[in-house]
Copies of this chain bind each other. A is one copy, B any other.
Amino acid sequence: MPARLKDIAAELDLSVTTVSRALAGYSDVSPQTRARVLATAKAMGYVPDATARRLQKQRANVIGFIVPTFGPRFSDPFFSELLAGIGNEAARRSYDVLISTVAPGPAETDTYRRFIMSRSVDGMIVVRTRSDDARIALMLENEFPFVSFGRSANYSDFPWVDTDGMAGIRAAVDHLVSLGHRNIGYLRGPQELMFSVLRWQAFVRAMAENNLEINPEWIFHGDLSQGGGRTAANQLLDLSNRPSALLVGNDLMAMGAMTAVQQRNLVVGQDLSIIGFDDIGPAEHTHPPLTTIRQPIYYIATQVTSMLIQLLEDETLQQPQQLLTPELVLRGSTGPAPAIPDLT
Closest to A69 in B: B84
Judge whether B114 and A87 touch: CB under 8 Å.
Answer: no
Bound-complex Cα distance A83 to B81 (A): 13
Judge whether A259 and B280 touch: CB under 8 Å.
Answer: no
CB-defined contacts of A50 to chain B, threshold 8 Å: 118-120
Judge whether B101 and A87 touch: CB under 8 Å.
Answer: yes
Q: Which of A21-29, A52-60, A317-325 contacts B (4 or more CB under 8 A)?
A: A52-60
Judge whether B84 and A51 touch: CB under 8 Å.
Answer: no
Instruction: Determine whether A242 belongs to the interface, using a CB cutoff of 8 Å to chain B.
Output: no
Q: Which of A97, A263, A287 has the most CB of B within 10 A?
A: A287
Judge whether B54 and A51 touch: CB under 8 Å.
Answer: yes
How many chain copies? 2
Bound-complex Cα distance A46 to B118 (A): 9
CB-defined contacts of A118 to chain B, threshold 8 Å: 47-50
Bound-complex Cα distance A13 to B256 (A): 63
CB-defined contacts of A78 to chain B, threshold 8 Å: 75
CB-defined contacts of A255 to chain B, threshold 8 Å: 282, 285
1/0 contact string of A227-265 vs chain B (CB within 8 Å): 100100000000000000000000000011011001100
Q: In the complex, how many residues of chain A place their beta carbon closer than 8 angstroms to a beta carbon of chain B?
A: 62
Main secondary structure of the interface of A (DSSP, over half): helix
CB-defined contacts of A81 to chain B, threshold 8 Å: 73-75
Judge whether A47 and B113 touch: CB under 8 Å.
Answer: yes
Q: Looking at the assembled complex, report how far the CB atom of A60 sits from the nearest CB atom of chain B, in whole angstroms.
A: 7
1/0 contact string of A80-118 vs chain B (CB within 8 Å): 110110011011000011111110000000010110111
Bound-complex Cα distance A286 to B256 (A): 8
Instruction: Determine whether A341 belongs to the interface, using a CB cutoff of 8 Å to chain B.
Output: no
Judge whether A47 and B117 touch: CB under 8 Å.
Answer: yes
Q: Given A47-B114, A227-B285, A230-B285, are A91 and B102 neighbors across the interface (CB < 8 Å)?
A: yes
Instruction: Determine whether A67 belongs to the interface, using a CB cutoff of 8 Å to chain B.
Output: yes
* Interface CB pairs A-B, < 8 A, 20: A46-B117, A48-B118, A49-B119, A50-B118, A51-B51, A62-B98, A67-B83, A67-B84, A67-B87, A69-B88, A73-B281, A75-B81, A75-B84, A87-B101, A91-B101, A91-B111, A97-B99, A99-B99, A256-B285, A263-B287
Sorted nearest first, the 5 A-B pairs with minimum C-beta distance are: A87-B101, A47-B117, A75-B281, A75-B77, A50-B118
Question: In the complex, given contacts A72-B84, A87-B101, what are 16 additional A-B residue pairs having Cβ atoms less than 8 angstroms apart?
Answer: A45-B117, A48-B118, A49-B55, A51-B120, A75-B77, A80-B83, A87-B99, A90-B100, A91-B101, A97-B98, A97-B100, A98-B99, A226-B282, A226-B285, A262-B287, A287-B287
